[in-house]
Every structure is written in C-alpha cells, then in structure tokens.
A and B are shown apart, each in its own frame.
Chain A
Amino acid sequence: MARKAITGNGAIALALKQVEPDVMAAYPITPQTEIAQNYAQFVADGAVKTEYIPVESEHSAMSAAIGSCAAGARTITATSSQGFALMWEMLFIAASLRLPLTMPVITRALSGPINIHCDHSDSMGGRDCGWIQLYGEDGQEGYDNAIQAFRIAEHMDVRLPVMTMIDGFIISGAIGPVETLPDAEVKKFVGDYTALNPLLNVENPVTIGAFDSLGGWYFEHKVAQNRAMENAMKVIEEVGAEYGKLSGRAYSHFKTHQIEDAEIVLVAIGSAAGNVKTMVDTLRAEGKKVGMLKVRTFRPFPYEQIRAALSGAKVIGVMDRSDSYGAQGGPLFTEISAAMFGGDTRPKMFNFIYGLGGRDIFPDDIRGAVETLEQAAAGEQVSQTRHYLNVREG
C-alpha cells in the first residue's frame, strides 16, 4: 500500500493502468482529458499491454468500445459532459448487448450555455441508459470504484456496463491523498477476463445486435436486463466487502454519518458529501440532531436499504447537483422521495439544488439548508419543496 498525492484523474488513470485492460478507446474532453492522455502515455511507454484507439469522437469511442468488448477484449473508455451526451445512443446499446464495459465519468455541466465546470447533468441525464452507476466523493473513491467496476460488470449474474463518477475539477483536477494498492494485488482482485460468446471465436461465430422487432423478443430482453440490474445490488455489496478485506476500505451502496438519532438528515452524492459531513459535525457540536447519508450506488438504486436507513428521520433534505426541468425536484430527490413513500413513516422531503455549472457551495449554504429543514421539523410552514443554494435572484 502506497500513499500518493495525486489528482482524481491521475488516481483513476493509475487504477486503469493497474488493471491493464486489453483495449482503451478514448477522446479528449474537459475535464476527463487527463485520463485519456495519461493512458496514452502508459501505452507509449510500453508500461501496459493495452491497445489504444484514439477515436475521432465520443460516439465512436463508445462504438469502438462496444466492438472491442463484443469481440472479447476487456475494454474501457472515459468521458465527461458533451462527450457523454454524444455517446448517449450507444450507452443504451452497450447495456442492452450486456457488455461489461467500464467507464469513469468525470462529471461536468451540459451545454448550453457552454460551461466546463462540475455538475451532475451528464451522468444523471444518463441514469436510465442501463448502466450501473457508482458515485465517488474523492480521488480515493474514484480509484477504488474504478477497480471494483470490473468485478461488478464482469460478474456472471450481472454482465452490465458500469460507470464510475467523480466530480469534474473539484476532484478530477485537485491533488489529494490516495492510498493505492500494489499492481499485483489489483490484477489478482480483478482476475482474468472471460468473454461470453465473443465475435473472435472462429469455432462459434455469433451474430450480435440482431433485429428484434414486432413479434420478436425485445420486451423479454429488456426484462432480463432489469433482472441483471437487480442482481447487481448484491454483487456490488459482495465486491465492496471483498475489496474492503484487501484495502481496508469496504464499500456498500451508501454511507451514513451521525444518522442513528438524527431528526434531520441531509442526503448528498459526490464531492459535496465532504462539505456536508463537516457541517454535520459542526452542527452536532452545537447540539443539533443532524446526520448525513451519502449515496454511492445510484443505479441500481438501493431504495429498500435507504428507506430503512432514513426511517427515523423527521425531515430529509436531498442535495442535487443537477436539476430536472419541470419535475418535482432533482434526480436524487425524486428517487429518495419515491423510496420513502413506500415506508410506514413519511418524513417531510425538501430538495436543495446547488453547484450547477461549478457554482461553489459554502458551509453557510449548507447551514442555511439545515435551518430550512429545522423550520419544517418544528412544524412551521415551508413554502417550497425545491430550493436553490447560492443562486443570484432577480
């Protein structure tokens, strides 16, 4: 085990190098570019056996990755924002072909207006494309998730692609401490890859991506895909526990902080969880019963476990780094609300949208959110469900 001072992107590129997949197809896009270029350097240095495809677009990145993975090679790519949007069509196809691709997504706002900074509009917009989604808080989680993604994607009960998110710039470009595993340990953990019905098996030629229209089996294929997603729920936990034994850092679907007796719980995802945790500690010191739940697995969404974990809360404030136009709230808010609706007790739910296009979030913004939740907890009328933090009005 080594402790490195490294950017989030650097940590992920290192994790990918340690896994050493057969093929990487990548296109530069801010703020993911560092991964594409670091990996190209590993290839140029002969440090990895990987074949690198410097594609001419993200649509081709995902298309080439699909071809490579279907051919039988362990395959990766990485993206952000507009690149994610451009490969959108192919994300659904990768999942429906049950290809165990893995892809770090360095989250960034979507145009327009054009903006290169962090929010979750890209990955949250792709939440229903059939990929497993794991969100990391910092470079360490980005590194750990990138490694675990292979085991989850390639598990025979799953065989679905996995995307692992870290926040653009805030994490991707910031240098922080990351504990890394020895190369051999990573390779042993992910193991050898065995492709299922690969194109390159001349003994058993296969047709992949057949036309499956009216009178076909499209519906059954979709149901099977969702069953695989359900299976992933358990596999993500098993892999996270095994990774814990190896690294000392066990993972599950989410993490809680000071939640046991909390009347007010903030739910966060991504790097803001660190800010929220610090504020929770501050507020606890002031005698306030506040806690936090940090979501890691967004697809499949662990609604039953989250419902149980939040069942004691009076008021829940969900923090979303992306909005959903015309909906009741951001994507995390609607998921948490739906999860809580199935419970015996129904806490009051509020949504705090923050950080769009990289807008900073300050401790006082979080404190302000908690004050709103306290009013609701005290039975006062809070006029809106959705609040925007640190936004200029008027």
Chain B
Amino acid sequence: MAKPKEIANKPERLTGGHRLCAGCGAPINVRQVMSVCPGPAVVSVATGCLEVSTTIYPYTAWRDSMIHSAFENASATISGVETAYRALKKQGKVKEDMYFVAFGGDGGTYDIGLQSLSGAVERGHNFVYVCYDNGAYMNTGFQRSSATPCGAWTTTSPVGKEAAGKQQNRKDLTAILAAHDIPYAATASPHNFKDLMNKAEKAFTTPGPAFLNVISPCPRGWRTPGDQTIALAKEAVQSCYWPLYEVENGKYKINYKPKGDKKTPVADWMKKQGRFAHLFKPGNKALLEDIQAYVDRKWEELLKKEECL
C-alpha cells in the first residue's frame, strides 16, 4: 500500500458536497476504500443513505461511474456491469483495466440483498462488496435489521413494558460470506485506516469476489454525538464487539487482539450510545451479562478459527 500521505494527496473519488449527516461513518469508509482502488471503477450502490445523499439529481458526488437501480440488488447489478466489461474487453471495445465495487448498508446486505450477494459471489464475479454496517435501517428512520445488536432500541425493536429493545443477536454475515469460500473476506473499522485500506487494496487486487464488512457508526441512529464516530468504531473493536479479521483463501487471521484489560467491557461501549440507554436502568443486569457472554463466545470462536483454519 502507498503511504497514507501519498494517498491523502490523491484526488477524492467521493467529493464533498454530498448530503450525508455530519459524523456519518459511511462516507469516511467509502473514501478510505476508494482511495486505494487501483484504477477507474464502476460503483454500484444499494438504495440507502449513501445512495440518496450522494446522487441528488442532477448532482453526483461520484467521480467514478456509479449505478443505483434498487435496494436488494447492488450485487446482481454490479455482476451485470462486470460481465459487460469482460464481454466488451474481449472484443477490444473497452481498453482500460477497470474495477468493480458495490456498497450497501446492513439492511441492503444482511437482509434484503443477501440472495443477490450470495449469487454474485458464488458466480465468481471479479468485484468487491463493501457493507457499511450501521446496525439498522437508518435511512428510513432506525428500524431493526438482522445486523442490529441485541438490546438495541430501534423503532421496530422498541423499548416497552414487554421488551428491552432487540431480542435477538446479530447475523454473522462475515462468516456467511467466508462460508462461500470466496478468495477474500474481512472486517474493518474506519478508526484503523491503515488496516482498512490494506484490506481494500487486497480486495481490489484479488481476482474474484471479495467482501469487506466495515463498521459504520451512525450518530442519528446510535444516538451519539457526531464527533464520536471514530472513537466509537475504535471501542467496538477494542471490546471485541467488532473484531478485525480477514479470511484469505480459507485462512483466518485476526488483525487486532486486545491483550488483558485492553479488551474493554462491551457495556462501556454501549453506555455511550443512546440506543442502549434503557439497558442501564435497574433490572437489566442479566441482559447486559448475556450480551457480554455472547461477545466473548464469538471472540473465543474466532480465536479458535484462527488457530485451526
């Protein structure tokens, strides 16, 4: 990877002037990913915050070609673009080497877009899928998705007499993608930009499908101050709620292992977010313990996977 200073001096591929919220993790992640894309790209974006806020007709914040067609099909759409590229390149009608990337939120990836993503990676298209995971349908106003963490308040996993936010654990999407035996799957976080950009570069240069799952704090949905986005992403990693790891041709590698008390309690991270505020009222200790136990179990599993695979 080029030095961060050189990368920082390159022209932005997602320009300023887009209408995403202050402190939104999505454009930070997109800019880090696109900054290491080795050549001209076509970007496919699922319906969501990123899409509506970067392409308000007749404006666009994208310097590369960009296509949006619907919510659940960013992968199928880019698979068509990538196939057209191969067809036209073979005929000499396209000369340049080009790259293909799809961005989707967790709703458009974990939920409604999962089939399209699974199909596209199984077919082996040469593209990178980047999920910016903010843990709910933030664009429609904070509804639960299968990426919403257990205990989180959303408007469709509300807090009431009978419920303390979302009742279920998150879907382990990175494991699902790794189970497709694709050449490269990884998690990342915007606070560790070097790690994220390394992974994005690998994803772009690995032939075949690659998947990046990037945590993307959402000040509006998480009920957090806009200037805490990077700190919250960092603490998600330190608590092992969002471990940084990669699966390269079936081989697991954990990129950051907090030693001893550096592994912070997940409750410390949750306490900083309004979406978990109800859990810190009396009577919810058991639930907080369950959440911690689940994070610990998934972390132990990951350590074993790294050891065995």
Residues on A lying within 8 angstroms of B by beta carbon are 22-23, 25, 49-51, 53-57, 59-60, 63-73, 75, 89-90, 93, 97, 199-202, 205-213, 216-217
Question: B118 within 8 Å of A by Cβ?
Answer: yes
Judge whether A67 and B123 touch: CB under 8 Å.
no
Q: From B60, B63, B66, B98, give the contact of A200 (CB < 8 A).
A: B98
Would A75 and B84 be within 8 Å (CB), given that A67-B78, A209-B67 are in contact?
yes
- Which are the 5 A-B pairs with shortest beta-carbon distances? A67-B80, A56-B119, A64-B80, A71-B84, A73-B84
Interface: B302 (CB within 8 A): no
Which B residues lie within 8 Å of A63 (CB)? 69-70, 73, 76-77, 80, 116
Is B277 part of the binding interface, using a Cβ–Cβ cutoff of 8 Å? no
Q: Which residues of A contact B123 (CB under 8 A)?
A: 53-55
In the complex, which residues 187-208 of chain B have their Cβ closer than 8 Å to any Cβ of chain A?
Answer: none
Contact flags B40-53 to A (C-beta < 8 A → 1, else 0):
10101000000110
Could you tell me the distance in whole angstroms from the C-beta of B81 to the nearest C-beta in chain A?
4
A22 to chain B: which residues have CB within 8 Å? 84, 87-88, 91
Could you tell me if B57 and A211 are in contact, using CB atoms closer than 8 angstroms? Answer: yes
Q: Does residue B303 face the partner (Cβ distance < 8 Å to A)?
A: no
Closest CB of chain B to A223's CB: distance in Å?
A: 15
- Counting residue pairs across A and B whose Cβ atoms lie within 8 Å, the total is 167
Q: Provide the bound-state CA to CA distance between A69 and B91, in Å.
A: 16
Whether A50 touches B67, Cβ cut-off 8 Å, given contacts A63-B73, A67-B79, is no
Is B115 in contact with chain A by the CB < 8 A criterion?
A: yes
Residues of A within 8 A of B65 (CB): 199-201, 205-208
Known: A56-B115, A59-B76, A63-B116. A49 touches B91 (CB 8 A): yes
Q: For this complex, into which size category does the number of interface residues on chain B fall?
A: 35 or more
Which A residues lie within 8 Å of B88 (CB)? 22, 71-73, 200
Closest chain A residue to B60, Cβ basis: A207
CA distance A75 to B86 in the complex (A): 13
A75 adjacent to B80 (CB under 8 Å): yes
Q: Which residues of A contact B64 (CB under 8 A)?
A: 205
Candidates A55, A201, A205, A213; contact of B63 at CB < 8 Å: A205
From 162 to 216 in chain B, residues with beta carbon under 8 angstroms from any chain A beta carbon are none
A90-B80 in contact (CB<8A): no
Question: At the interface, yes or no: B278 with Cβ under 8 Å from chain A?
Answer: no
Closest to A53 in B: B83
Q: Residue B160 at the A interface, CB < 8 A?
A: no
A355, B200: Cα distance in complex, Å: 56
Q: Are B76 and A210 in contact (CB under 8 A)?
A: no
In whole angstroms, what is the CA distance A57 to B277 when docked?
Answer: 42
From B55, B62, B116, contact of A211 by CB (8 A): B55
Smallest CB separation, A93 vs chain B (Å): 5
B81 touches A67 (CB 8 A): yes
Known: A200-B65, A200-B88. A53 touches B72 (CB 8 A): no
Cα-based distance from A211 to B119 in the complex (angstroms): 26
Query: What's the nearest-Cβ distance from chain B to residue A224, in Å?
Result: 13
Closest residue of chain B to A22 (Cβ to Cβ) is: B87
10 contacts between A and B (CB under 8 A): A22-B91, A55-B119, A70-B80, A72-B94, A73-B83, A200-B81, A205-B63, A205-B64, A207-B62, A207-B65
Known: A63-B70, A200-B42, A208-B68. A68 touches B80 (CB 8 A): yes
A22 to B93, CA, bound (A): 11
Query: Cβ of A64 and Cβ of B83 under 8 Å apart?
Result: yes
Contact B76 A71 (CB under 8 A): no
B81 touches A57 (CB 8 A): no
Contacts of B59 in A (CB 8 A): 210
List chain B residues, Cβ under 8 A from A217. Answer: 57-58
B80→A25 contact, CB < 8 A: yes
Q: Is the CB of B40 within 8 A of A205?
A: yes
Q: Is the CB of A60 within 8 A of B84?
A: no
Within the complex, the shortest CB–CB distance from A88 to chain B, in Å, comes to: 11
**Alpha-carbon distance between A72 and B83 when the two chains are bound, in angstroms:** 11
**Is B69's CB under 8 angstroms from A67's CB?**
yes
Cross-chain contact A67 with B76 (CB below 8 angstroms):
yes
Q: How far apart sit A217 and B55, CA to CA, in the bound complex (Å)?
A: 13
B8 close to A (CB within 8 Å): no
Rounded to whole Å, the gap between the CB of A128 and the closest CB of chain B is: 18
Q: Contact check: which of B56, B80, B87 meets A65 at CB < 8 Å? A: B80
Judged by a CB distance under 8 angstroms, whether B85 is at the interface is yes
Contact A53 B80 (CB under 8 A): yes
List chain A residues, Cβ under 8 A from B66: 205-208
Contact: A23 with B57, CB < 8 Å? Answer: no
A53→B55 CA distance, assembly (Å): 28
A residues less than 8 Å from B161 (CB atoms): none
Q: List B89-103 residues whose CB lies under 8 Å from chain A.
A: 90-91, 93-94, 96, 98
Smallest Cβ-Cβ distance to A192: which chain B residue: B93
In angstroms, how far is the closest chain B Cβ from the Cβ of A208?
Answer: 5
| Whole-angstrom CA separation of A121 from B205 in the bound complex | 47
Cβ–Cβ < 8 Å partners of B96 in chain A:
202
Docked Cα-Cα span, A25 to B56, in Å, equals: 30
**Interface pair B62/A49, CB less than 8 Å apart:** no
Quote the shortest CB–CB distance from A85 to chain B (angstroms): 15
Q: Kindly report which residue of chain B lies nearest to residue A71, judged by CB atoms.
A: B84
Residue from B52, B77, B122 having most chain A Cβ neighbours under 10 A: B77
Q: Are A23 and B84 in contact (CB under 8 A)?
A: yes
- The answer to whether A50 and B87 have CB atoms under 8 Å apart is yes
Contact B56–A211 (Cβ < 8 Å): yes
Tell me the bound Cα distance from A108 to B93 in angstroms.
38
A66 engages B122 (CB within 8 Å): no
* With contact pairs A68-B80, A90-B73 given, residues A210 and B98 touching in the complex (Cβ less than 8 Å): no
Query: Would B116 and A93 count as touching, CB distance under 8 A?
Result: no
Residues of A within 8 A of B85 (CB): 71, 200
Pick from A66, A97, A206, A207: contact of B80, CB below 8 A. A66
